[in-house]
Every structure is written in C-alpha cells, then in structure tokens.
Amino acid sequence: MSPVEKDGILANMKYDFPASIVVFLVAVPLCLGIALASGAPLFSGIIAGIIGGIVVGALSGSQLGVSGPAAGLAVIVLTAIQELGAFEIFMMAVVLGGVFQLLLGFAKAGIIGYYFPSSVIKGMLSGIGVIIILKQIPHAFGYDRDYEGSLSFVQPDGHNTFSELYYMFEAISPGAVIISLLSMMVLVLWEQSFMKKIRLFQIVQGPLIVVALGIILNMIFQGMPQFALSGDQVVSIPVPETIGGFFGQFTFPDFSAITNPAVWVVGMTIAVVASLETLLCLEATDKLDPFKRVTPANQELKAQGVGNIISGLIGGLPITQVIVRSSTNIQSGGRTKMAAIMHGVVLLGCAMAIPAILNLIPLASLAAILFLVGYKLAKPALFKQMYNLGQSHFVPFMVTILGIVFTDLLMGIGMGLAVAIFYVLYNNYKKPFLFRSDDHASTGTIKLELAEDVTFINKASIQRTLDTLPENSKVIIDGSKTINIDHDVIEIIEDFKINAKYKNIQLEVIELNSVKLPNPTTEVEYALANNLLATNGKVTEKI
C-alpha cells in the first residue's frame, strides 16, 4: 500500500479537490469540441465527461486516470453516425461497444498494454505535449477554427497543424492575445518556488486564477468592440431554460437497431479502438504517477465497459481514459481517484446550475493552461534523457513523437512500436551466442555459448559465423543454457557437423535441445492463489 492510500480519502482531499477543479475546466471545452467534431449533439460530450468522471472513476483501479470522450474516436463516431443514419442508432452501437469491453476485461485482454515499450510510451507523452502546444497556439491568438481537443494533423476544415499557424495571423484577436499573455504570466508566476511555499497559493491553483481573470477580462471587453470576444472564442455549453430542459437533452438508443449487423460492427470497432487508447493512456499515466502505482488493466477495461454502456444508454459519446485530462490531474496535484470522480460531479452540477457562467470562460485562458500541460509532457530534459539511453531507445521515441504530430495518436504509436520491434529483432539477430575471446586466446578453442532463446531471426548470424570458422580448428557449440532453439537453427548446426568433417574441424555439440519449462508467471500466480509458503526449504500449503 502506497503512503497516499494509507492517508485515506479525507487526508488527500486538499490535493484532490483543487486538482478536480482544474481538470473540470480543461474537460469542458474538450468534451464540447470532440462532440462538435464527431457530428454529435454538444451535450453528448458533456454526458460522456460526467460518466467518465463519476462512473468510470469509481470503478477504475487507476488512481490518477481521468476518462471522457476522446479525440481519437471523433472520426469513427462521425462516420458511424452518417452510415447508421441516426444518432439514436449509433447509441445502440456505443452500448454494444461497452459490452464488448466488459468481455475483453473478463478475457484478461488488458495484458496487451504491457507489450508497449517504455520508449514508445514516453514518445506518446512527449508527442501529445508537442501537439497540445501546436494546437493551442491558434486558440491563444483567437483563431478557433479547429475544435478543442483535436490531436490529428489533418483538420476538418482542410488545414493542418502547421498551416493553421499561418492562417491564424489573418484573424488575430487583440482581446484573446491579452488574455493569453496575462494568463501565461500568472501560470509562470505560480510555478516559482517562492510561490509554492505560501500556503494560500498551495491551495488555490494557478489555473483557477487564470480562468477567473479570463472571465473578468471577457466581461470588461464586452463594452470595448475592438477587444470583445466572439461566440466561438469562449466555451459554449448548451443552456437549458429549466431543470426539466436539462434532462430533455438526454438521448436514448434505438433498441430495435440491435438486429442491424452494421451496428455490431461499429460497436466492435469502438470497443477495440477505445480499449487500445485506454491501455496506452493507462501505461502513460502510471509512468507519470509520482508514487509509481500500477493500475490493474483488466479492471480498467471492465470499468470502461460499464461506463460506455451507461453513456450509450443516456446519449453520451464513447469513453476512453484520456491522457490530456489525466496528465492535467497529475500536474495539478491529484493523488487519488477522488479527483476524477469530483471533476465529474462538478461537471454535472455546473452543467445543470451555471452553464451561462461557464460560457464566459475564454478559450484563450484554457489555451494558456494547456500550454503548461504540454510543456511538462515534452520537457527538453526528457529528450536529453532518451538520447543518452542510446539509439535503440531514442529513435523509437522520436518516431513516435513525429508520427503523432504528423498523423494522429494511434498511427504515431504504431509507427514507434514498429521501429522499436525492429531494434529488438536487430539486437536479437546480433547476439545469438556468447564468444569469450580471452578463453579462445588461452586454449585455442572456439566456444560458442548459445543464448537462452535462439530463433529463426538468428539464422543468418549463426550461419555467417559458422561459415567463417577456419579449417583444422577446434569448435564447441554449447546449448546447455538454451531454453528454446528453433528447428531452423538446429538444421544449420546439423549441416555444419557434416561440413566440419571436410574441413578437419573438431566439433563438440553440447545439449542442443529445447527445454520444455513451465510458464513462471502461471507458477507464481498458482502459488499465491493457493497460499503456498516456503518453510525450511520445503513448500507447504497455508491452512
């Protein structure tokens, strides 16, 4: 149990509540922006944010992860709604997607997340940090054509991440620029060490001051035409006239569509993509966790499944764990899952009670907050650290970053993973055996100690080495430490036995067989499940 968990919920509330407010402020425009990009009702994004916070937050094993609608699903959702013909039919697909995720959780598919190397996960974090900064620059200047939460290189308006930086100069808003600059000054001031020593400023987060300042300046600028912000430069949450009108914004699925095969295909697609994004975010969030807690991945898939079922039943977008909100939570000091849950509660309460006030928040203020989030994800020190680890770590790291910036999240991760696998295969190819040059110098014997795992990838390297062995030499091929050896490699060695006779090579082959060993992971799990204890060198079962 970590020190945080020992302290309990109440002891951590002083950290979790301020963090939840900051996450809420960031989540509102992201929920709305992703809903807009998905071609869905704006309120569906708010519903997904509420369910992702309260329901998934409560059921999840992640202490710092925050769930909600994800930009990576926006294109899938947009296409699916158009193909299925109605939003209500699409809701049925979201429910089915949640059911599929539940099944994946029970099938223990969460282990997939552990197969992504650290260099790719860190590249994902840095790549998202870079893309956040690039995407928020236009919002800071008052150019809000691209939706909040966008992570794709190619934008719905036909522009891309870099061309958007050019077009923003044609529509600079003085009011937005002033708000952005003042907001950045406040955030930089709040990051100074002397500010962090003042107790009041430990409780009151800089982003809260930034949002309050943005609202005040927005209201002041309304009387100054040259500085006034337009409707697309502020948060635009739907404002019902009554509480009844609030509940009237919920949409229910068309259950008759369950017999439509296309609905099942969309549901499966949502489940696979949402699960993959969640598992990747889970790995990244655990890496950022200052207490290095490990989240049970299968439990997370089950929590996401329940969340998507409920979200689909009441008109919400598909949900995944999302890195922007999760990293904001961590950087704002969140310590337990209460931060995610409370952000959902605050989102629900504000959407019901004070949507008009939320609509005064300038996007320029939120851009400043996200600038800081992006910088902390892509700190120069991390690039230096990865470079010092060597080429096999740095190249996949950089490929992941560039892939995310120039394509999208999943494509970038796929590119980084492909490069990382190449380096694994290349290193495996180079090291099929151990050769001790000192022993050879003293005895004159060429001894090749095969690695624990020798596969077909090593064929070329082993073949090349055997072909270069000189005539009249003494050779030992030692497979005593080899657990697994491919038949392809055994064939090469068997052929070399015959060839060695013609070269007058004295050849000795030791234990050239694969050893059938039980799965050590399964053995450990069995021992723990059956309470097996070691006593005086003997294994006994605890009664």
**Of 474, 25, 67, 525, nearest in space to 305 by CA:** 67
The answer to whether 126 and 382 have CB atoms below 8 angstroms apart is yes
- Distances in Å between the Cα of 167 and the Cα atoms of 142, 144, 334 are 11, 11, 37
Q: Which amino acid belongs to residue 139?
A: H
Alpha helix positions (H), 159-205:
161-167, 174-190, 193-196, 199-203
pLDDT at 267: 97
Distance in angstroms (rounded) separating the CA atoms of residues 126 and 431: 31
pLDDT at 252: 95
66 Cβ contact partners less than 8 Å away, ≥ 6 residues apart: 23, 27, 52, 53, 57, 321, 322, 325, 326, 328, 329, 339, 340, 343
- Give the residue extent of every domain in the chain: 12-147+154-236+258-389, 431-543
pLDDT at 477: 92
pLDDT at 442: 73
pLDDT at 241: 74
| DSSP 3-state of 281 | helix
The answer to whether 76 and 363 have CB atoms below 8 angstroms apart is no
**Of 344, 325, 331, 378, nearest in space to 128 by CA:** 378
Q: What is the DSSP string of 2-48?
A: -HHHHH-HHHHHHHHHHHHHHHHHHHHHHHHHHHHHTTS-HHHHHHH
Paired residues of 160 in beta bridges: 154
Q: Which amino acid belongs to residue 184?
A: M
**Of 291, 274, 369, nearest in space to 324 by CA:** 369
**Of 292, 371, 373, nearest in space to 326 by CA:** 373
- Distances in Å between the Cα of 270 and the Cα atoms of 150, 277, 410, 419, 476 are 18, 10, 14, 26, 55
| DSSP 3-state of 449 | strand
**Of 388, 418, 424, 390, nearest in space to 402 by CA:** 418
Q: Which amino acid belongs to residue 90?
A: F
Distance in angstroms (rounded) separating the CA atoms of residues 248 and 304: 25
pLDDT at 515: 55
**Of 187, 175, 246, nearest in space to 215 by CA:** 175
List, edge to edge, every strand of the sheet that includes 433-435: 433-435, 445-450, 474-478, 506-510
pLDDT at 543: 40
pLDDT at 528: 73
Question: Which tokens belong to 309?
Answer: 């079922």
| DSSP 3-state of 454 | strand
Pick the CATH number of 431-543 from 3.30.360.10, 3.30.750.24, 3.60.20.10, 2.60.40.10: 3.30.750.24
pLDDT at 385: 95
- Distances in Å between the Cα of 199 and the Cα atoms of 16, 204, 339 are 16, 9, 20
- Distances in Å between the Cα of 58 and the Cα atoms of 52, 65, 336, 342 are 9, 11, 11, 10
Distance in angstroms (rounded) separating the CA atoms of residues 411 and 408: 5
- Pairing verdict, β 445-450 and 474-478: parallel
Question: Which tokens belong to 480?
Answer: 């005593």
Q: Which residues of the chain have pLDDT under 70?
A: 1-9, 243, 428-430, 439, 513-522, 531-543
How big is the CA angle at 374 (ends 369 and 375), to the nearest 5 degrees? 100
Name the DSSP letter for residue 104: H
pTM of the model: 0.85
Question: Which tokens belong to 227?
Answer: 């500085």
- Distances in Å between the Cα of 417 and the Cα atoms of 123, 153, 194, 405 are 10, 19, 42, 16
Ramachandran sector of residue 15 (left: φ over 0; alpha: ψ -120 to 50; beta: rest): alpha
